[in-house]
Chain A
């Protein structure tokens, strides 16, 4: 803060004038540099409504250092001219003068001097005129006297080009009295203290205003991972809809539960080495429900339950192969088999957990991702019911515009891809996959004939990436994550109406 004396002098000056004054005039009156007055004005502004100010800027021409020198001593060319005696001067001597080089060429082009190259004893410079008029000096002197208006713009620009003149912008304040104008300064308190509260002195004090434009201090806290925050929300949605969580804490699965039980034939491409991670240790699974496995073998190789089957030689060796599960549907199969071993009651199951694919990796695909899955088993469920459940599920995410496309999936029939309308992209985008489990999967488990099982799935990463505007999946999942992103990520509420479709796709 500028010293109180100066502030008060400024205020007293202001008190005397009507209508206000310019900070440049104040500087002149008080005999101090203008920048000091600018500092004083800022200090007074911080005191509240003591003064009111309006910022002004004005431009004026000023001489540069070289310009000032010329205004005093004359232009380089004039100095060169004056230095040449009537008998002339050797060129090399003239060039040794401080103004020599510039002055010589200027004086030459003004035709004030001439160069006799053939002169004995080396080139020599002679005057060609008697007297000269130093217009450059005259013009600069005008500017120095504050009469730059007398010069034409063209002249000023020419001098500016020669770096003799410069145009400066001066920022100044127009100062007027404020609503709480006073010529005395009261010191302001920064913070309320326990002593002020105890003594009551806060009543008399002035408090320095807060800067509400600044950011607050970040709270010292930990953060949940954005993908896990979204997982929590999906979990919540399923629980609200009455779905029970399946135990998906078994990454290692046998081919039997991952494929065979789902009526996925043993020669299906998904069972290839280049799509699935197989396990070398422990390579094989051992215990299977024997009766059930026989029924699975039969339905694959011979058919049954109204099916033609796939008519191939089903091998237990293939079913025994351990792998990293490629979908959580392997767990759904285990759960449905378990359900079939009791007196049937309707169930709604869900899970959100990791699955693994030995696929080519790119910006949106990793070898592992989280699959969200929902399953409903009851008598007489229809395709219309599946669409109804999907509608409810996606409505909870804020997605209401859905349509369904016929698709192919080896273990569901019918199979439907779920599309939602993306307001941002102005097109329909896929948000999930769904279907009705095939009888060849359900009946060998022992589920009653009339029971239908509807199911759907989607990835957790995709909606999360869109929600948080992440384009590369490695920035979201895995150790290469940027912790700042984790620190800064917002919570995953139901997206606001206008962003609804965008955030969920």
Chain B
């Protein structure tokens, strides 16, 4: 969940009202936000680096607010203020439109060449005219760009945003891709020119930029944007050129967004990000003139070129209208409101709505910034939020059903109780473990384990799903060697085995495993437990119709001290005294006997 950090006093000034922390928390809660933390720069530094470092840092109160992952339009102070003001009916939802250049001239153009196809084939661009920065607006602008990069742009892997001072560059612009050796420019905040190859090694040690290098590092061609004079605007998604950076004095901003292939991102996402950025930026820049914001939008031209397109394709700021009935919303939410009042509720959520006059039909206008609204149920939710979740009457559904237990879980529950009554203590161990745990340490070959392997474990602890419960129990013993002997443990849980007959190629298997750890092996104790379990399962000791054990060789067990367990002629597991190598590989020192059986045949 993205978090936005805003200065409390600035926020309250923009909202035109002061709140106590509790009141503001309450407002956030109603709106679906969470006031996560109240802090200050000083607090943060002192917590992370110690009090001394915090000396002299700002103690202006900061609110850290969690924003739901679908509401990128709230991801900065200005967006947040707008959302809350509309919600509180203090402001009308803004309406955006594309405008032509004020001087009647040609719109700017961004030409995309075929070479980009292999690395980063999509780009859109926009221009913001006549902006006025202050220090705070400038900071908010930069922070918003970073927030979008980290969240919806997925750390620049999907989309990268570049912003430039339009007055230092001249269109039309060209988006192309070249071998890194052929790209040469002076990057942002550097004093000399580098080739792209040199830049990649330069930024290897950069705490911030090194995280993005992998996105293009191994590509034969790197994406690059030039202006008509061959000046480099940016090498997305890594760095901008130095000459074009925006500053407090920038009046006109050129914004470009570039994106990777369509399997990862749809074309609308790119436009959405550009829109979100422009939209929120407009607020940043026109901060003091919120009420009249519509007249200050100078989105000169929004251009989307796709691979191979020669002629420009203008993208509209698409507003969409949905029609739904008041009855639908009432029935889904469980309220009883008139169509008019529902329309009012939706308007408070930035979805301008009015009753159409036909029955209880409501027409809802979805702004282009609300890409999350894709179905009537999304509109229904907004109505419910505006109504207030906690104002909805709670009622019990009349659904009549009869409960059933899963037979396997029922059997497990019954057996657990009786194993504890038999003096064994229940362990709860991980379903994931290392290959070593289920193979080498048990003196088995990993190839013979039928184990399911994980492709992306961060550590060896998560290499495979366990194929037996024994390693977990032995590790539990090792962690509790100081406890008085004997230690008697059991676990009834699932292991995972490859099984080609299943749609996913693997299945769970419910197993019962128990260990006895003492100065003497105690085979008779474990054997007695088997007899007790069989008694509980109502299986008699009988070679044909019941259960029996017979000597077997298994590399995990001490030679001559292992038996295979059969029930109704079918092998269900093993019991025996563990091999001394197994004991020492699990860092244990005493003899240990164990039983491991499949309980599924007893269903």
> Is B102's beta carbon under 8 Å from chain A?
no
Q: Within the assembled complex, what's the spacing in Å between the Cα atoms of A367 and B459?
A: 11
Determine the residue in chain B with the shortest Cβ distance to A430.
B34
Please determine whether B496 and A346 come into contact, CB atoms closer than 8 angstroms.
no
Q: Within the assembled complex, what's the spacing in Å between the Cα atoms of A452 and B380?
A: 13
> Is B413's beta carbon under 8 Å from chain A?
yes
Stretch at the interface among B262-270, B519-527, B575-583: B262-270
What residues of chain B lie closer than 8 Å to A382, measured between beta carbons? Answer: 331-334, 395
Please determine whether A312 and B266 come into contact, CB atoms closer than 8 angstroms.
yes
Contact among B154, B372, B401, B428 with A477 in the assembled complex (CB-CB below 8 Å) = B428
> Is B104's beta carbon under 8 Å from chain A?
no
* Residues A232 and B413 in contact in the complex (CB < 8 Å), given A223-B426, A480-B479: yes
Please determine whether A267 and B488 come into contact, CB atoms closer than 8 angstroms.
no
Looking at the assembled complex, report how far the CB atom of B393 sits from the nearest CB atom of chain A, in whole angstroms.
5
Looking at the assembled complex, report how far the CB atom of B488 sits from the nearest CB atom of chain A, in whole angstroms.
7
Stretch at the interface among B109-117, B289-297, B383-391, B544-552: B383-391
Please determine whether B431 and A251 come into contact, CB atoms closer than 8 angstroms.
yes
Looking at the assembled complex, report how far the CB atom of A11 sits from the nearest CB atom of chain B, in whole angstroms.
46
Looking at the assembled complex, report how far the CB atom of B302 sits from the nearest CB atom of chain A, in whole angstroms.
18
> Is A238's beta carbon under 8 Å from chain B?
yes
Q: Within the assembled complex, what's the spacing in Å between the Cα atoms of A161 and B505?
A: 87
Q: Within the assembled complex, what's the spacing in Å between the Cα atoms of A239 and B413?
A: 14
> Is A93's beta carbon under 8 Å from chain B?
no
* Residues A246 and B406 in contact in the complex (CB < 8 Å), given A222-B419, A269-B154, A279-B453: yes
Please determine whether A414 and B483 come into contact, CB atoms closer than 8 angstroms.
no
Please determine whether B431 and A486 come into contact, CB atoms closer than 8 angstroms.
no
Interface bits B406-434 vs A (CB < 8 Å: 1, else 0): 10110001001101111111111111100
Contact among A245, A354, A414, A428 with B404 in the assembled complex (CB-CB below 8 Å) = A245
Looking at the assembled complex, report how far the CB atom of B33 sits from the nearest CB atom of chain A, in whole angstroms.
9
Looking at the assembled complex, report how far the CB atom of A34 sits from the nearest CB atom of chain B, in whole angstroms.
42
> Is A85's beta carbon under 8 Å from chain B?
no
* Residues A245 and B422 in contact in the complex (CB < 8 Å), given A235-B413, A438-B375, A482-B480: no
Q: How large is the interface on A (under 10, 10 to 19, 20 to 34, 35 or more residues)?
A: 35 or more
Among residues 193 to 221 in chain B, which have CB atoms less than 8 Å away from a CB atom of chain A? none
Contact among B263, B378, B398, B420 with A315 in the assembled complex (CB-CB below 8 Å) = B263
Q: Within the assembled complex, what's the spacing in Å between the Cα atoms of A436 and B377?
A: 9
Contact among A282, A354, A381 with B397 in the assembled complex (CB-CB below 8 Å) = A381
Contact among B394, B424, B494 with A249 in the assembled complex (CB-CB below 8 Å) = B494
What residues of chain B lie closer than 8 Å to A252, measured between beta carbons? Answer: 452, 465, 496, 504-507
Please determine whether B403 and A242 come into contact, CB atoms closer than 8 angstroms.
yes
Please determine whether A322 and B505 come into contact, CB atoms closer than 8 angstroms.
yes
> Is B402's beta carbon under 8 Å from chain A?
yes
Q: Within the assembled complex, what's the spacing in Å between the Cα atoms of A310 and B429?
A: 40
What residues of chain A lie closer than 8 Å to B404, measured between beta carbons? Answer: 244-245
Determine the residue in chain A with the shortest Cβ distance to B466.
A251
Looking at the assembled complex, report how far the CB atom of B24 sits from the nearest CB atom of chain A, in whole angstroms.
14
Q: Within the assembled complex, what's the spacing in Å between the Cα atoms of A239 and B401?
A: 11
Please determine whether A266 and B452 come into contact, CB atoms closer than 8 angstroms.
no
Among residues 486 to 540 in chain B, which have CB atoms less than 8 Å away from a CB atom of chain A? 487-490, 494, 496, 498, 500, 502-508, 510
Chain B interface residue count, Cβ-Cβ cutoff 8 angstroms: 103
> Is A388's beta carbon under 8 Å from chain B?
yes
Determine the residue in chain A with the shortest Cβ distance to B268.
A311
Contact among A306, A479, A486 with B425 in the assembled complex (CB-CB below 8 Å) = A486
> Is A200's beta carbon under 8 Å from chain B?
no
Q: Within the assembled complex, what's the spacing in Å between the Cα atoms of A95 and B378?
A: 103
Among residues 338 to 389 in chain A, which have CB atoms less than 8 Å away from a CB atom of chain B? 346-348, 354, 356, 358, 366-368, 376, 378, 380-385, 387-389
What residues of chain A lie closer than 8 Å to B431, measured between beta carbons? Answer: 251, 354, 356, 368
> Is A151's beta carbon under 8 Å from chain B?
no
> Is A181's beta carbon under 8 Å from chain B?
no
Interface bits A466-483 vs B (CB < 8 Å: 1, else 0): 000000000001111111
Looking at the assembled complex, report how far the CB atom of A450 sits from the nearest CB atom of chain B, in whole angstroms.
9
Please determine whether B389 and A406 come into contact, CB atoms closer than 8 angstroms.
yes
What residues of chain A lie closer than 8 Å to B425, measured between beta carbons? Answer: 222-223, 225, 483, 486-487
> Is B315's beta carbon under 8 Å from chain A?
no
Contact among A267, A286, A287, A438 with B264 in the assembled complex (CB-CB below 8 Å) = A267
Please determine whether B429 and A479 come into contact, CB atoms closer than 8 angstroms.
yes
Looking at the assembled complex, report how far the CB atom of A486 sits from the nearest CB atom of chain B, in whole angstroms.
6
Please determine whether A483 and B506 come into contact, CB atoms closer than 8 angstroms.
no
Please determine whether A310 and B266 come into contact, CB atoms closer than 8 angstroms.
yes
> Is A103's beta carbon under 8 Å from chain B?
no
Contact among A227, A241, A439 with B377 in the assembled complex (CB-CB below 8 Å) = A439
> Is B70's beta carbon under 8 Å from chain A?
yes
Please determine whether A479 and B423 come into contact, CB atoms closer than 8 angstroms.
no
Determine the residue in chain B with the shortest Cβ distance to A309.
B374
> Is B236's beta carbon under 8 Å from chain A?
no
What residues of chain A lie closer than 8 Å to B30, measured between beta carbons? Answer: 406
Please determine whether A388 and B397 come into contact, CB atoms closer than 8 angstroms.
yes
Looking at the assembled complex, report how far the CB atom of A240 sits from the nearest CB atom of chain B, in whole angstroms.
8
Q: Within the assembled complex, what's the spacing in Å between the Cα atoms of A280 and B455?
A: 5
Determine the residue in chain A with the shortest Cβ distance to B417.
A224
* Residues A249 and B508 in contact in the complex (CB < 8 Å), given A479-B475, A479-B476, A481-B479: yes
> Is A492's beta carbon under 8 Å from chain B?
no
Please determine whether B374 and A383 come into contact, CB atoms closer than 8 angstroms.
no
> Is A290's beta carbon under 8 Å from chain B?
no
Contact among A310, A380, A391 with B331 in the assembled complex (CB-CB below 8 Å) = A380
Among residues 263 to 295 in chain A, which have CB atoms less than 8 Å away from a CB atom of chain B? 266-267, 269, 273-274, 277-288
Determine the residue in chain A with the shortest Cβ distance to B70.
A408
What residues of chain A lie closer than 8 Å to B12, measured between beta carbons? Answer: none
What residues of chain A lie closer than 8 Å to B461, measured between beta carbons? Answer: 367
Please determine whether A389 and B396 come into contact, CB atoms closer than 8 angstroms.
yes
Determine the residue in chain B with the shortest Cβ distance to A221.
B423
Determine the residue in chain A with the shortest Cβ distance to B405.
A245
> Is A21's beta carbon under 8 Å from chain B?
no
What residues of chain A lie closer than 8 Å to B465, measured between beta carbons? Answer: 251-252, 324
> Is A254's beta carbon under 8 Å from chain B?
yes
> Is B69's beta carbon under 8 Å from chain A?
yes
Determine the residue in chain A with the shortest Cβ distance to B330.
A382
Q: Within the assembled complex, what's the spacing in Å between the Cα atoms of A246 and B404?
A: 9
Looking at the assembled complex, report how far the CB atom of A1 sits from the nearest CB atom of chain B, in whole angstroms.
33
What residues of chain B lie closer than 8 Å to A483, measured between beta carbons? Answer: 425, 476, 480, 483, 487, 489
Please determine whether B504 and A282 come into contact, CB atoms closer than 8 angstroms.
yes
* Residues A368 and B420 in contact in the complex (CB < 8 Å), given A346-B399, A483-B487: no
Interface bits B151-180 vs A (CB < 8 Å: 1, else 0): 000100010000000000000000000000
> Is B456's beta carbon under 8 Å from chain A?
yes
Q: Which of B158, B266, B403, B489 has the most CB of A within 10 A?
A: B403
Interface bits B462-489 vs A (CB < 8 Å: 1, else 0): 1001000000110110111001000111
Please determine whether B456 and A313 come into contact, CB atoms closer than 8 angstroms.
no
> Is B71's beta carbon under 8 Å from chain A?
yes
What residues of chain A lie closer than 8 Å to B409, measured between beta carbons? Answer: 235, 245
> Is B335's beta carbon under 8 Å from chain A?
yes
Please determine whether B389 and A358 come into contact, CB atoms closer than 8 angstroms.
no
> Is B29's beta carbon under 8 Å from chain A?
yes
Please determine whether A406 and B397 come into contact, CB atoms closer than 8 angstroms.
no
Q: Top 8 closest A-B pairs, CB basis?
A: A384-B334, A382-B334, A406-B32, A282-B505, A408-B68, A479-B475, A280-B455, A414-B381
Give me 14 A-to-B residue pairs in the complex whose CB atoms sit less than 8 angstroms apart, sorted by A's number. Answer: A239-B403, A240-B403, A249-B408, A251-B494, A274-B456, A324-B432, A346-B400, A354-B494, A385-B396, A404-B390, A413-B377, A479-B475, A483-B480, A486-B427
Interface residues of B (CB under 8 A from A): 29-32, 34, 68-71, 154, 158, 262-268, 331-335, 372, 374-378, 380-381, 384-385, 389-390, 392-406, 408-409, 413, 416-417, 419-432, 452-458, 461-462, 465, 472-473, 475-476, 478-480, 483, 487-490, 494, 496, 498, 500, 502-508, 510
List 20 other contacts, CB 8 Å, given A252-B506, A406-B68. Answer: A221-B423, A222-B424, A224-B416, A225-B425, A228-B416, A239-B405, A242-B400, A244-B404, A245-B403, A250-B504, A312-B262, A312-B265, A324-B432, A367-B432, A376-B399, A381-B397, A384-B333, A385-B395, A388-B394, A389-B396
